[in-house]
Each structure stands twice: as structure tokens, then as C-alpha cells.
Amino acid sequence: MDEVEVVVAHRRRATLRVGDVFLKVDGDPAHAEVEVRAMAMAPVPTPAVLWREPPVLAIAAVPGTALGVLGRPSPASPAAWAAAGAAVRRLHDAPLPPWPGPRLDDVAAELDSECAWLLAHAVLPAEVVRRNREIAEAAVRPWTPVFTHGDLQITHVFVDGDVVTGIIDWSEAAPGDAMADLATLTLGHEERLDDLLAGYGSGADRDVIRAWWSLRSLVASRWLLQNGFDPDAPGCELDVLRSRMREP
């Protein structure tokens, strides 16, 4: 029998790998429903669904390697990043999924509440929170909804050479802001934004992407801390997010 690898585990869900099969266990069946429907609709390479028996979803591994990981330089070539940008553009140009996405009022309310929590618990210096809150405000504006992945982390995009072989983890897919996807993919790898946009093409707003870098940092910190992520571990997501927040 193949070894069982715990890919991620927290209070909301766990993902296990057994050979070339990923088993995703989620307490909310709606997440798996969204993931299966989104992968069927997305005009980009996605994993094959092997079977589904709530609360477990089994999907096949995709070939290739992740575009990179947080906290380390991406080994992927500029052409691979451009290919990722082109794939994201195909997704954003596709018909919208028929379920609701994040509302502007909800994004603004979450930013308010998370900043208040960070200040109340002195997680970061007040000036760091204030400055990044100021930057994040540029993301809180009306947007034209597109088909977004919703959690397009660098580890969710796989390439083989300069070809995108798969995009995984679609449970947050919904109509949303295109700039949020671009920001999530380049968070911690801001130096690769030019490569990504070379493939994505026109229409990207760099100021809004930068605003989403700060917004994601602000709203993710509490969840990461409360779900067992080590804030002092070099290269962990929280470490990268906190480093992002310290920039002027």
C-alpha cells in the first residue's frame, strides 16, 4: 500500500494523498459540489474526479510540478509564468458560474473586522496594519465579475516545462474580481508579476493587484494563527503574509 501523506489538515477540511490519488475530506458538502462543478466548467486543465462519497472527494493527481511555493524563489521559467497568465485569462474570459460570489459589502466588512482584531490583539504594530489597510482600500471598489478560481495560490498551478498541466483546489471558485486571482498567484512572488501579465494580456490594474496583496494579508492572518500555522516558521504562508505587510 502507498504511504498516506497529509497534505493539509485544519478544522474545515483535510487533504490526504495516497499514491496518485488525493482524498479531500470536507465537513461542508457544498465545497465539494462547487469544486466538481467548477472543474467541469473551467476552460483550463483540471484534475480528473475519480469518485465522490460525501464527505470525501477523490481526484487524480495532475502531472508536472507546482509553479512554486511560498517563501522560496519560484523555479519556473518566465515562459511558464506567462503560460499560467494565459490560462488564468482563459478562465476569466469564460462564462460565469451560476452561483453567487463574494459581495463588495462583505469584502469591506471582513476587512474592517479583521483589522479590528489585529489591532485589538496586537498581532502586528498598529502602523503596519494602518498602512496596509490604506493600501487595501484600492481593492474595495466595484468590479465586473469574472469566473475566478478564488484561491489561486502558487501551489495550485502545475506546469511541465512551459506548459500548464493542471490547476487544482476549486472549492472557492465563483464570480469575482479578476485582480484578486492575479494577486493571490503572485503573493510572495511579486517579482514574477511582469511574467504573469505577459501571458495574461491587457486589463490588469497593478495598483489593485498590490491592494489585494495587502487585503489578503490582513484578512488571512487571524485564520492562519487560529488553525495551527506556525507564525515563526520560515516560508510558511503566515510568515510570507506578515513579511508582505511590513513593506511600506
- Phi, psi (degrees; rounded to nearest 5) at 93: -90, -5
Domain presence at residue 179: yes
Asked if residue 97 lies in contact with residue 175, where contact means CB atoms within 8 angstroms, the answer is: yes
Residue 2 has pLDDT above 80, yes or no: no
The pLDDT tens digits for 126-142 are 998 999 999 999 999 99
Q: Rounded CA gap, 90 and 181, in Å?
A: 13
Q: Binning pLDDT at 50, 70 and 90, where does residue 27 land?
A: confident
The pLDDT tens digits for 77-130 are 999 999 999 999 999 999 999 999 999 999 999 999 999 999 999 988 899 899
The pLDDT tens digits for 46-61 are 999 999 999 999 999 9
The pLDDT tens digits for 146-198 are 999 999 999 999 999 999 999 999 999 999 999 999 999 999 899 999 999 99
pLDDT score recorded for residue 224: 80
Domain presence at residue 213: yes
Asked if residue 108 lies in contact with residue 137, where contact means CB atoms within 8 angstroms, the answer is: no
**Which grid cell sits at 60?**
487524480
**Which grid cell sits at 209?**
493587484
Arithmetic mean of pLDDT, 224-237: 63
pLDDT score recorded for residue 124: 82
Of residues 239 and 226, which shows the higher confidence score?
226
pLDDT score recorded for residue 245: 63
* 216: amino acid identity, one letter: R
Tell me the CATH number at 118. 3.90.1200.10
Arithmetic mean of pLDDT, 20-37: 93
Of residues 223 and 204, which shows the higher confidence score?
204
Domain presence at residue 72: yes
Question: How high is the mean pLDDT of the chain?
Answer: 91
Q: Rounded CA gap, 20 and 246, in Å?
A: 39
Q: Rounded CA gap, 237 and 95, in Å?
A: 31
Q: Binning pLDDT at 50, 70 and 90, where does residue 242 land?
A: low
Domain presence at residue 89: yes
Domain presence at residue 163: yes
Structural domain harbouring 76: 62-246
Instruction: State CA 149 to chain mean position distance.
Output: 8
The pLDDT tens digits for 4-13 are 998 887 778 8
Task: Please give the tally of structural domains in the chain.
Answer: 1
Residue 102 C-beta-side C-alpha neighbours within 13 Å: 26
Domain presence at residue 20: no
The residues with which 59 forms a beta bridge, in sequence order, are: 22, 49
Domain presence at residue 101: yes
Q: Rounded CA gap, 187 and 43, in Å?
A: 24
Q: Binning pLDDT at 50, 70 and 90, where does residue 223 land?
A: confident
Contacts of 223 (CB under 8 A, 6+ apart): none
Domain presence at residue 67: yes
Q: Binning pLDDT at 50, 70 and 90, where does residue 29 land?
A: confident
